Amino acid sequence: MVDLHGQHAHQSLLTGPEQRALLDRSCGAPAAEALARLRAARAELRRVDAALAALGGDERARAREIDLTRFQVEEIARAGITGPDEDERLAAEEELLADAEAHREALRVAHDVLADRAADALGAAVAALAGREPFAALASRVRALQAEVVEAANDARLALDGIVADPERLAEVQARRALLRELTRKYGATLAEVIDFGERARRRLEELESHTERAGALAAERDRAHAEAARAAAELTRVRTAGAGPLADAVSAHLHSLAMPHARFEVRVEPAEQTDEGADQVVFLLAANPGEPARPLARTASGGELSRAMLALRLVLSEAPPTLVFDEVDAGIGGEAGLALGRALARLGAAHQVLCVTHLPQVAAFADAHVAVEKTTHRGRTRARAALLLDDARVTEIARMLGGDVTSDRARDHARELLAKAARARAGERAR
């Protein structure tokens, strides 16, 4: 939200990532397009690497898993489970076969009793009630019972005929049930769970067996993504290298107008490990005086020079946080250079909130609002007071900053002239 410029409190512009981003912004669409391609390619690389990792890279471990999974799939498939209720049906059949002779004897006795004694007794009862109207309903019930008994006798006979003592079939059923119990011991509590396990194992076996083919396809995708990332990074390096000189020249030109006539600003693009931001390290350097080597901005000695370098960068790149604070940015300058500095700050103030601590009337005159700060001593304690200057009070303060007699007409006229000149320049900047 706020950038502080002054006494080495320059925050965002001193970081490598921010300097790289500012160079990219200066380069415009070519840098933005190359950067977008690079980020997309590296995102694809991460996706492919994750897919390769999921396949597994240990050949021996994969071979062991293939053998185990194939055995499980084949064991369940050989069992040929007919459905999740097969064991229940086999249990009922085993119960029937295990005691076949006793079941046959019980059915024979039941059939004889129902077909002979019960049927004859109900027939006699029906005959006794026949034709007796008061008992017609009772006779109807007895006839229904007689029909039910005859039907039950027939069912008992059919069941008797269906039971055949078959020791071989009994052994088969018992063996089958033992096999199903072994499967549920290994693969699930119920046959439904065993069937589901077999299906999942089959799919996993297909994945494992197709590993080589899938890994080859992913490796090819990775090679393509890696090549695209390298091409995009190389293009981004080319664009940055081409744009470094024009950016440095533009910033240097602004520095010359800010009382640094011999300043040299440089932008270096150096190789670095490739990241999503490219394969470059971007460094801003400043040589403030003739014969001095250019040094990184973060290690520039003079706070005032560094502040003006920051201002020049802001003027060239225009984008900045909403609020900019410049503290003692006018150190060591005056006269026309002060006016140039004031115009530069006014230009920034057209798009941002600019707060400037200054002792130069040429700078203060360009402000939209002028706040005077003074210290006083009261009862042994120092206090600071800030007051917004309006109209004539501002003229008086500018005259004082100019070093004249604030009561003289000449000093005040000079102050009014400076304020008017600044107002015209400020209006011109906003019109642009």
What pTM does this model have?
Answer: 0.55
Question: For strand 353-357 and strand 323-327, is the pairing parallel, antiparallel, or unpaired?
Answer: parallel
For 363-383, give one letter per residue: b (16+ CB within 10 A) or e. Answer: bbbbbeebebeeeeeeeeeee
In a domain, 346, yes or no: yes
In a domain, 277, yes or no: no
Q: Which residues make Cβ contacts (< 8 Å) with residue 71, sequence separation at least 6?
A: none
Last residue of a domain, one of 150, 185, 209: 209
In a domain, 38, yes or no: no
Amino acid at 149: V
Last residue of a domain, one of 209, 237, 253: 209
Question: For strand 370-378 and strand 353-357, is the pairing parallel, antiparallel, or unpaired?
Answer: unpaired
Which tens digit of pLDDT belongs to each residue from 212-269? Answer: 788 888 889 999 999 999 999 999 999 999 999 999 999 999 888 777 888 999 999 9
Per the model's pLDDT, the better-predicted residue between 31 and 305 turns out to be 31
282 and 240 Cβ atoms separated by less than 8 Å: yes
In a domain, 31, yes or no: no
In terms of C-beta density within 10 A (0-12 exposed, 13-18 middle, 19 or more buried), how is residue 32 classed? middle
The tally of domains found in the chain comes to: 2
Q: Tell me the C-alpha to C-alpha distance, in Å, between residue 35 and each of 22, 26, 84, 264, 279.
A: 13, 14, 58, 29, 11
d(CA 350, CA 14): 24
Last residue of a domain, one of 146, 177, 209: 209
Vertex 405: Cα angle to 402 and 410 (nearest 5): 80
In a domain, 288, yes or no: no
Do 335 and 205 reside in the same domain of the chain? Answer: no
Phi-psi bin for 83: left (phi > 0), alpha (psi -120 to 50), beta? left
Other beta carbons less than 10 A from residue 46's beta carbon: 11
Which tens digit of pLDDT belongs to each residue from 121-172? Answer: 777 877 777 877 877 788 788 788 878 888 888 877 887 666 666 678 778 8
**Domain interval for residue 365:** 330-432
Task: Single out the residue of 194, 172, 198, 196 nearest to residue 182, CA to CA.
Answer: 194
In a domain, 429, yes or no: yes
pLDDT of residue 102: 66
In a domain, 155, yes or no: yes
